[in-house]
Amino acid sequence: MKRIFLTFPMIALLTGCSSHGNVNDKAYLRAAAIDGDRVTFSFYSEEDKVISVNVRNPEKAKSAAELAMGKEIFTGHTELVVAGDCDILEVLDNMLHEWKVSPSCRVAEAKTSGEELLNSRSAEELADVIDTAHEKGLAPKCDIITVLSGLLGENELAEVAEFSDNGFCGVAEIKK
């Protein structure tokens, strides 16, 4: 009996039953916009405000945003990447392999600033607009895997949904 009472606390400690890594200790990324030297982050929680950092490299931008927020950013449920002035192939490859975004994460292009777009419209709304446009045949399937496949394919191009500052405005062709 004594052995059971001593074993239980050890099991609890070794299985991660602690306050470290709680859901509330993380910010869950819903969308990211990459505009040249600026990366903007939008989150699921309304407590976590849209934040922008002046760093060109997505991995360094994520670290800078985590420092500014005081929270780790979890990217596994990211729904949308809005590309502006950037090397789209490098950014999407980084998002998929380093940030570990979902392969179903949608990719869009911004006619104007992605930062302004994420500050004026909710990321949820933007993702829903892409899905609706795809269902109606107005936009192609533009998840990260499909877009990367197009960019790495023979033609080295892909089509994605395009947003103006007013919202969905059509389809953009992006090249490698």
pLDDT of residue 118: 92
Q: Which residues contact 54 (CB under 8 A, 6 or more apart)?
A: 37, 38
- pLDDT tens-digit map of 88-142: 999 999 999 999 999 999 999 998 889 999 999 999 999 999 999 999 999 999 9
Distance (Å, whole) CA 153 – CA 147: 10
Average pLDDT score over residue span 136-154: 95
CA distances from 94 to 35, 70, 148, 172 (A): 15, 23, 11, 21
> ∠ CA 116-121-127 to the nearest 5 degrees?
115
pLDDT above 90 for 63: yes
Q: What is the DSSP string of 119-168?
A: HHS-HHHHHHHHHHHHHTTSS---BHHHHHHHHHSSS-EEEEEEEETTEE
169 vs 105, which has greater pLDDT?
Answer: 105
161 vs 17, which has greater pLDDT?
Answer: 161
pLDDT of residue 79: 96
- pLDDT tens-digit map of 31-46: 999 998 899 999 998 8
pLDDT of residue 7: 52
Does pTM surpass 0.85?
no
Nearest-CA neighbor of 175 among 102, 112, 109?
Answer: 109
pLDDT of residue 13: 47
The mean predicted confidence, pLDDT, of the chain is: 86
Cα-to-chain-centroid distance, residue 5:
45
119 vs 12, which has greater pLDDT?
Answer: 119
